[in-house]
Amino acid sequence: MSKKNIAIFASGSGSNAENLIMYFNNTNTAKIKMILTNNHNAYVLERAEKHKIKSNVFSKEELNNTNKIIDLLLENDIDVIILAGFLLKIPQNIIDNYENKIINIHPALLPKYGGKGMYGDNVHKSVLENNENLSGITIHHVNNNYDEGNIIFQATCKVNKDDSIEALAKKIHELEYKFFPLVIDSFLKTL
Q: Is 79 near ligand GRF (CB under 6 A)?
A: no
Nearest-approach distance from CB 176 to ligand GRF, in angstroms? 6
CA distances from 90 to 29, 141, 174, 189 (A): 25, 12, 26, 24
Q: Is 136 near ligand GRF (CB under 6 A)?
A: no
Among residues 6, 8, 78, the alpha carbon closest in space to that of 44 is found at 8
Nearest-approach distance from CB 145 to ligand GRF, in angstroms? 16
Q: Produce one character per residue of 50-71: b if its CB has 16 or more CB atoms within 10 Å, e if not.
A: eeebebbebeeeebeeeeebbe
- String of contacts with ligand GRF for each residue 153-182, x by CB under 6 A: -------------------x---x------
Residues 6+ apart with CB under 8 A from 175: 136, 137, 155, 157
In the DSSP assignment, the letter for residue 90 is P
Give SS3 for 12: coil
**How far apart (Å, rounded) are the C-alpha atoms in residues 42 and 57?**
9
Q: Is 15 near ligand GRF (CB under 6 A)?
A: yes
Q: Is 147 near ligand GRF (CB under 6 A)?
A: no
The sheet carrying 80-83 orders its strands as 54-57, 30-37, 4-9, 80-83, 102-106, 134-141, 151-158
**How far apart (Å, rounded) are the C-alpha atoms in residues 174 and 137?**
10
Pick the stretch among 14-22, 51-59, 66-74, 91-99 that binds ligand GRF (CB under 6 A): 14-22
Nearest-approach distance from CB 73 to ligand GRF, in angstroms? 20
Compare residues 107 and 181 and give the one whose CB is closer to ligand GRF.
107
Q: Is 16 near ligand GRF (CB under 6 A)?
A: yes
Please give the residues from 92 up to 131 whose contact with ligand GRF meets the rule CB under 6 A.
Answer: 105-107, 119-120
Q: Is 84 near ligand GRF (CB under 6 A)?
A: yes
Among 4, 6, 7, 14, binds ligand GRF (CB under 6 A): 14
Which residues make beta-bridge pairs with 102?
81
Nearest-approach distance from CB 74 to ligand GRF, in angstroms? 25
Q: Which residues bind ligand GRF (CB under 6 A)?
A: 10, 12-17, 84-85, 105-107, 119-120, 172, 176
